């Protein structure tokens, strides 16, 4: 059976058994091949936009002898799906802004109809993905943070809400920052729940601290560059960065933040 990288294995582990999976941006179709080979999924769709990766995915499915179970399709985002054709959609290895755009396009044209599960691994911009889930009544079930080859990844696992009211109630509780032990205003506290992740903040994993300490270092370098400028706009940006860094430090010092 095909062996996955640590990142891809973590993603595969989040897919529910017996789900019809669709991996969008599948590259060599590694995830669909593993999911079918392992018996976890009866079938899978591998979607790719560009011809090179599309042909690589076709080759991967063929070499595994799974062309009957894995349908490799070429198209933009979720346009490769028909409504009701997949139970689980996987999006991994792209920015959160692009991921949110793909999900929104799929939601608007009905491609997500019948999809009950999303497994998402944005490289950056995780907060944008969390906000999309809330906006479209998906409920976050778990968050996983992991490191591979010097890079830190977050994997989000979400389910479609049973109905709009239930999803809104779940998400209201999940992103309720009123009880967090922070001195900043409620609005800023809620913002950090989206940026760092409500479950990850509760767990306070060392990798989460490492990720945001690295981000603090980046912001410090930017602020030092701004300090060399004499422009008034630079002073404003410098002050805004200072406020952001102060909030980030406060959150990190309070980890883990287990809500009652």
Structure tokens at 205: 């994993």
Residue 20: pLDDT over 90: yes
Residue 260: pLDDT over 50: no
Residue 244: pLDDT over 90: yes
Percent of the chain with pLDDT over 70: 99
Q: Mean pLDDT for the chain?
A: 94
Percent of the chain with pLDDT over 90: 87
**Residue 259: predicted pLDDT:** 54
Q: For the domain 6-174, what is the CATH code?
A: 3.40.50.150
User: Dihedral sign, CA of 47, 51, 53, 58?
Assistant: positive
Residue 200: pLDDT over 80: yes
**Residue 258: predicted pLDDT:** 61
Q: What is the chain's alpha carbon radius of gyration, rounded to the nearest angstrom?
A: 20
Of residues 124, 159, 64, 129, the one with CA closest to residue 46: 64
**Residue 257: predicted pLDDT:** 79
Q: Where are the domains of the chain?
A: 6-174, 186-254
Task: For 113-153, write each residue's pLDDT tens digit.
Answer: 999 999 999 999 999 999 999 999 999 999 999 999 999 99
For residues 16 and 258, the model is more confident at 16
> Taking residues 69-84, what's their average pLDDT?
97
For residues 118 and 229, the model is more confident at 118
Q: State whether CATH 1.10.287.1890 applies to domain 186-254.
A: yes
> Taking residues 80-107, what's their average pLDDT?
97
- What is the DSSP annotation of the chain? -----HHHHHHHHHSPTT--EEEET-TTTHHHHHHHHTTS-S-EEEEESSHHHHHHHHHHHHHTT-TTTEEEEESSGGGGPPTTS-SEEEEEEE-HHHHHHHHHHHHHTTTTTT--EEEEEESS-HHHHHHHHHHTTEEEEEEEEEEETTEEEEEEEEEE-SSHHHHHHHHHHHT--TTSS-SS-HHHHHHHHHHH-HHHHHHT-HHHHHHHHHHHHHHHHHHHHHHT---HHHHHHHHHHHHHHHHHHHHHHH-S----
């Amino acid at each position: 059976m095909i062996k996955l990288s640590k990142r891809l294995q973590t993603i595969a582990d989040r897919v529910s058994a017996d789900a019809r999976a669709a991996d969008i941006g599948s590259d060599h179709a590694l995830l669909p091949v593993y999911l079918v080979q392992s018996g976890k999924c009866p079938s899978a769709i591998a979607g790719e936009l560009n011809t090179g990766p599309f042909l690589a995915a076709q080759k991967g499915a063929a070499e595994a002898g799974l062309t009957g179970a894995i349908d490799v399709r070429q198209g933009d985002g979720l346009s490769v799906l028909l409504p009701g054709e997949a139970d689980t959609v996987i999006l991994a290895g792209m920015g959160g802004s692009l991921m949110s755009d793909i999900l929104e396009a799929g939601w608007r044209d009905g491609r997500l109809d019948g999809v009950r599960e999303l497994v998402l691994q944005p490289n950056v911009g995780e907060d944008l993905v969390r906000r999309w889930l809330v906006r479209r009544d998906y409920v976050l079930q778990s968050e996983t943070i992991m490191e591979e080859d010097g890079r830190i990844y977050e994997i989000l696992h979400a389910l479609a809400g049973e109905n709009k009211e239930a999803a809104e109630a779940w998400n209201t509780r999940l992103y309720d920052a009123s009880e967090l032990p922070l001195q900043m205003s409620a609005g800023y506290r809620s913002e950090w729940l989206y940026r760092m992740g409500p479950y990850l903040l509760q767990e306070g994993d060392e990798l989460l601290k490492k990720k945001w300490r690295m981000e603090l270092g980046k912001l410090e370098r930017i602020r030092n560059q701004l300090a060399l400028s004499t422009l008034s706009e630079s002073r404003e940006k410098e002050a805004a960065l200072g406020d952001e860094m102060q909030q980030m430090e406060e959150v990190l010092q309070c980890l883990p933040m287990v809500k009652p």
